[in-house]
């Protein structure tokens, strides 16, 4: 099967700011109980996904384009850019912000479960 990415939007995610674009690579149903999200995510300038915890799952990010500020589980804020992989363990927290005035931040996110359902 071949299909196009499925595009959805969210606003003020996890207490973050602005509108976020999701380009779903696989739907939750296609992940067959192994995960919740597999998507390219685009944050416009000054948009963010608020700091949040992952209980029973984890979510690595692969930064594809742009730069932003990633907040790790210990609260450390670090600038990230293309090629950076941001990883947390199950039960940890994180958040990400596009602090640019004019460039989108694009990354791949995969939320996968600690154990399959």
Domains of the chain: 6-113 (2.60.120.10)
Question: Does 96 score more than 70 pLDDT?
Answer: yes
Residue 117 has pLDDT above 60, yes or no: no
Residue 54 pLDDT more than 90? yes
pLDDT in tens, 65-82: 999 999 999 999 999 999
Mean pLDDT of 26-38: 96
d(CA 79, CA 44): 16
| pLDDT over 70 (residue 116) | no
């Amino acid at each position: 099967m071949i299909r196009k990415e499925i595009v959805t939007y969210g606003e003020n995610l996890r207490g973050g700011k602005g509108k976020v674009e999701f380009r779903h690579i696989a739907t939750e149903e296609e992940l067959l109980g192994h995960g919740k999200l597999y998507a390219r995510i685009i944050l416009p300038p000054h948009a963010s996904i608020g700091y949040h915890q992952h209980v029973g799952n984890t979510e690595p990010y692969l930064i594809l384009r742009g730069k932003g500020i990633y907040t790790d589980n210990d609260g450390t804020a670090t600038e990230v850019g293309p090629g950076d992989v941001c990883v947390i363990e199950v039960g940890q927290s994180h958040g990400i912000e596009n602090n640019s005035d004019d460039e989108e931040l694009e990354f791949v996110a995969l939320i996968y479960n600690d154990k399959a359902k």
